[in-house]
């Protein structure tokens, strides 16, 4: 896919996420890793609903801005996830309400933030890690993500929001949407002892769709 098309894709998905209320104001950011090792990433203080393809930040392989507006302050977040998830070609970070709410609950397991409630959660997300709170833009979050050793494509930042990697931007967006919907289901059913997927049902999904799950989530 050409760089021009990738820029247009970032804008189209960004607008869709914004218009559905999944990330308010100028929150959230999107990046795509390019074949030359550089990135396209949304600018700082930019609303995902009103992106200009020509102003998308372009970084070289060393992270230096080569064109476009100044990039999001969350570069350390993206960089660490690309570094540890070798297959990742796109990352979506949002401030969607149900994921943020989930990240604030005391019972959430840092190694398995959501139970396997639906097949598409397992298929698109696998499992989700929860990291402690870091100030937005704090470079220390990169070390926390590296500590996950690339086992998770979906990560929740406490009191902040999800960060999701995919092998395409479409895959990252779809997984982020699935994560948000599953968080919503969890909050709706909290305290009601809902029936989730059994270990056998999860194992069937893993085998059928070749899903890699961290050992702690099975």
Burial environment of residue 26 by CB neighbours within 10 A (0 to 12, 13 to 18, 19 or more): middle
Q: Judge whether 197 and 119 are in contact, CB under 8 Å.
A: yes
Catalytic, 120? Answer yes
Please name every residue paired with 93 in a beta bridge, in sequence order, or none if there are none: 29, 163
What phi and psi values does residue 90 have, to the nearest 5 degrees? -150, 150
CA distances from 195 to 98, 165, 183, 192 (A): 20, 28, 15, 9
3-state helix, strand, coil split of the chain in percent (to 5) is: 40, 15, 45
Neighbouring CB atoms inside 10 A of 189's CB total 13
Question: Which one of the listed residues 13, 82, 120, 186 is annotated catalytic?
Answer: 120
DSSP code at position 157: E
The span from the first CA to the last CA of the chain, in angstroms, equals: 36
Q: Judge whether 67 and 8 are in contact, CB under 8 Å.
A: no
Neighbouring CB atoms inside 10 A of 27's CB total 18
The residues annotated with a catalytic role in the active site are 120
């Amino acid at each position: 896919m050409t760089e021009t098309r990738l820029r247009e894709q970032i804008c189209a998905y960004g607008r869709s996420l914004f218009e559905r209320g999944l990330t308010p104001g100028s929150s959230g950011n999107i990046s795509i890793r390019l074949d030359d090792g550089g990135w396209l990433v949304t600018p700082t203080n930019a609303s995902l609903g009103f992106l200009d393809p020509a102003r998308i930040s372009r970084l070289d392989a060393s992270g230096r801005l080569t064109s476009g507006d100044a990039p999001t302050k969350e570069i350390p977040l993206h960089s660490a996830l690309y570094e540890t998830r070798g297959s990742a070609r796109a990352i979506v970070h949002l401030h969607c309400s149900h994921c943020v709410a989930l990240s604030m609950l005391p019972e959430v397991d840092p190694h398995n933030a959501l139970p396997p409630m639906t097949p598409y959660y397992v298929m698109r997300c696998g499992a989700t890690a929860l990291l402690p709170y870091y100030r937005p833009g704090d470079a220390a979050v990169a070390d926390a993500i590296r500590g996950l050793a690339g086992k998770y494509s979906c990560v929740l930042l406490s009191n902040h929001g999800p960060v999701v990697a995919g092998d395409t931007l479409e895959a990252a967006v779809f997984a982020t949407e699935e994560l948000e919907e599953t968080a919503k289901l969890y909050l709706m059913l909290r305290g009601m002892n809902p029936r989730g997927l059994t270990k056998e049902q999860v194992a069937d999904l893993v085998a059928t769709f070749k899903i890699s799950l961290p050992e702690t989530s099975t």
